[in-house]
Structure 1
């Protein structure tokens, strides 16, 4: 960096501005410059003219050497930060802005005292499921039953005794007659009856239990060392509600 530019940057830092130095590749220079231009970058030439009108010269400032082999893009921001030299990257600058917003107009420095609170919620998760499926199976069975069966038989045999001599009334011997006899038999008849022998009941019970959740929370501790008196040292905050 040229010495004149380095002295101008050093003077800007001395007056309370912040110097942002970015190391990047050559193909990223335009993007870095665009980002810096959108972030309240001071016009260094205009500032130098104003400083010269107040009696400032290049010899009044120290030289800041950025060094490095990669392409360097620097910008001077105009936000009211603490006096003294500072080279910050873009991320740390965002944190500094939070502190700068908390600063009052009379130059007071404000340290935010933060404390984390633990909030415990609930969510439902699956621990598995129970599936009950019914299906029909068949098995062979046997039963014994006694069946009655009738048979008709026709037999011819010789007549004996008085039947051989005929009847007193011969007309009965030549009377036409018909004799019918029916054969009957029993057969097995199968019928089935369904009856409930057991029940499977599926229910879901819910229990309440208390679980202790352990974690850590952060809290800002402020230490005050006052060398003006007897060296009082205090730890903690005075306002417990903050």
Structure 2
């Protein structure tokens, strides 16, 4: 007589539901700077000064010498790095409980002796 018992095995399987690709795109643009720069040149003795000033000095007389300041505008271009934005990516793991009613069947074998049949045979 075959004896049957059902068993239940529960396992967890990881399922990939999607993927994300994040990349950055860098755009470069070139700009032409068109700025007028002024300089004043005079054919006289030149005395180099080489310091930054806030205001152009006036023409002045220094005794017999007319001092004409020669100024020059210098364009100062700075390249600065700015953090424009941040992308924050968070991974979140969630667990959900799964419940389902499952019917399991099991068979037991009971062996009993029939004492009445044994006594009839011995008579």
TM-score, normalization: structure 2? 0.50
Aligned to 2:98: 211
Higher strand share: 1
Counterpart of 2:72?
Answer: 185
Partner of 2:9: helix, strand, or coil? coil
1:134 to 2:24 alignment? yes
Determine if contact 2:3/2:109 at 8 Å carries over to the other structure: no
Residue 7 of structure 2 corresponds to 117
Deviation of 1:192 (Å): 0.9
Q: Which has the higher contact order (CA 8 A, sep 6+)?
A: 2
Q: Which residue of 2 aligns with 1:198?
A: 85
Larger Rg: 1
Distance 2:103 2:69 in 1: 102
Question: What TM-score, normalized to structure 1?
Answer: 0.29
Q: Which residue of 1 aligns with 2:117?
A: none
Structure 1: gaps spanning 5 or more residues: 1-110, 155-176, 221-236
- Indicate if the aligned counterparts of 2:39 and 2:70 stay in contact, CA closer than 8 A: yes
Q: Give me the whole-angstrom Cα distance separating, in 1, the residues matched to 2:4 and 2:39.
A: 109
How far apart in 2 are the matches of 1:215 and 1:139? 66
CA RMSD of aligned residues (A): 3.8
